[in-house]
Structure 1
Amino acid sequence: MRRPTALSTPGLSVQRDGARTITRALPAEVPVAMVFDGSTQAVMMASPDDLEDFAIGFALTEGFIDSPDQVEELEIAHHPKGIEARFWLNHGHGAVLAARRRSMAGPVGCGLCGIDSIDQAIRPLPSLASDLRFDAAHVARATEALRQWQPLHDRTRAVHAAGQLRADGSIARAREDVGRHNALDKLIGALARDGEDAGACAFVITSRVSVEMVQKTVMAGCPILIAVSAPTALAVELAEQAGLTLAAFARGSGFDLYAHPHRIKTGAADVA
């Protein structure tokens, strides 16, 4: 069963010159339950495509698994009211599931909903060590390059995207979703399923940089995160601690650097 990613929906457009009936393509949004060994650990609202990528990426960035090799079986089960991503893991992961357990639904705007501990929300991150370097011009144009990979956004104007940026400035792949965290999880899952090293690229996102976006990027092992909008102060603090290069406000003509600028070749003396 394949669900549509956008639905044609009637409405009424009210403008200065009057009102008229319209029909617009609006993005689909469905609950996706992450079920590990028969136990539901999270329910996220998401776009109903690239679900295997989403499931693997979510499991990796939220610490349920360390590698796709730990998944014995993954089944995507469609129901009238939603979707289940059913994982069956290798033995020995019961303690991990208990530590990372979630029980509440997570809306698209929140990547931390359902975590029942402050320690889990701001969990320790691994430290990134990478000699990867990018030209400043490629960073500045990264979000423009990503625009060519957003067909669902073009139809609906209502979804986020995350892209894999190569060192030559080209986008290798991208994923879209109504939730910015989900789009990034889908990208991370796609890389992991294809056996690609996230440490050899940068991630580009069409949203602000919240704490969860930093956490997911670091957990994936990617050393550079580029965003079209602003970071939060805590996101900058965590990026600095984890060794993540954080670039924001990347909109063609330039960008801001907030953490570990040494990976971006800017030519500025204070960024050497």
Structure 2
Amino acid sequence: MDNAALPISFLRTTPKGEDSEVSRAVAVEAPVSVEFNGIGYAVMMATPADLEDFATGFSLSERLVDNAGEIVAIDHHHSAAGHILRISLAASRSDTLLARVRHRVSDSSCGLCGIENLEQALRPLPRVTAASEVGDAAIFEAIGRLRGMQPLNRETGAVHAAARCASDGTVISVREDVGRHNAFDKLVGSMARANEGWAGGFALLSSRCSYELVEKAALSNCPMLVTISAPTTLAVERAREAGIRLVVLARADAILTVSP
């Protein structure tokens, strides 16, 4: 994958004290500055691949837009210091953007302080309206297929994957990144840009289940979220709030489904 991995030299030492020089691919982690309508919004550490997908998914997960059609343009600039994503939103989203920027300034100046900021951090989630009738066999099928569809992780062993899976367990598309949140944003963004929904399927993530990932699933109207590792209590609470079926510790030999 272009710009996603670079060769690095290492000194390899065995238990017998034998040294040798080896080269292996290392996942690229770079600063990505995100601007909306000329306003600096965030700097994310990410793998610089599929950045237009990331820009779209990030815009949606930040609730700055309701759909990809409200993103007028995405300009990607590469500098010596990193990457810059200049995202132009429709004029109708200006008030939403300015309100969110004000909250972010408050958050960065004093942390999450006060009732108003706490409520902003845990804003109500929409109830998922998409339906999914996925059987357990389909989940195990997707788990078995995912590893073979992670080329960057196979090369580096250092990135997360987010996959869109059909109801029969077919893995339709995968996005990878050093950050689990970024990988999911890239996947959701790729779907939004193609005007595709979950179509009765589900999301499979190669990470633990944090509340932020549940929120991204809810905002993309994903009816079922499957993660390889364990959830947090807040992730479980938010999944119940949004009506998302949550499957965790999803391994080849067993899965755990969170009770509604």
TM-score higher than 0.5: yes
Does 225-234 or 3-12 show the bigger shift? 3-12
Number of aligned residue pairs? 251
1:190-239 CA distance string (max 9 Å, x none): 00000101353200000000010000010011010001110011100110
Mapping 1:122-133, distance limit 5 Å: 122-133=122-133
Deviation of 1:83 (Å): 1.0
Deviation of 1:79 (Å): 1.2
Per the alignment, residue 111 of structure 1 pairs with none
State TM-score, norm by structure 1.
0.87
Per the alignment, residue 151 of structure 2 pairs with 151
Gaps of 5+ in 1: 107-113, 261-272
Please tell me whether the aligned partners of residues 143 and 206 of structure 1 are also in contact (alpha carbons under 8 angstroms). no
Please tell me whether the aligned partners of residues 249 and 255 of structure 2 are also in contact (alpha carbons under 8 angstroms). yes
Which residue identity is paired with 2:16?
D
2-structure distance, mates of 1:70, 1:243: 26
Which residue identity is paired with 1:164?
R
1-structure distance, mates of 2:119, 2:11: 47
Per the alignment, residue 138 of structure 1 pairs with 138
1:120-179 CA distance string (max 9 Å, x none): 322210011343200111113322211121000011000000000101110000000000
Identity %: 39
Per the alignment, residue 11 of structure 2 pairs with 12
CA RMSD of aligned residues (A): 2.0
Please tell me whether the aligned partners of residues 141 and 170 of structure 2 are also in contact (alpha carbons under 8 angstroms). no
Deviation of 1:103 (Å): 5.7
Per the alignment, residue 91 of structure 1 pairs with 91
Gaps of 5+ in 2: none
Structure 1 residues 54 and 96, CA gap change in structure 2 (3 angstroms): same
2-structure distance, mates of 1:146, 1:185: 18
2-structure distance, mates of 1:115, 1:189: 28
Please tell me whether the aligned partners of residues 225 and 247 of structure 2 are also in contact (alpha carbons under 8 angstroms). yes
Please tell me whether the aligned partners of residues 42 and 103 of structure 1 are also in contact (alpha carbons under 8 angstroms). no
Which residue identity is paired with 2:165?
L
Bigger helix fraction: 2
State TM-score, norm by structure 2.
0.91
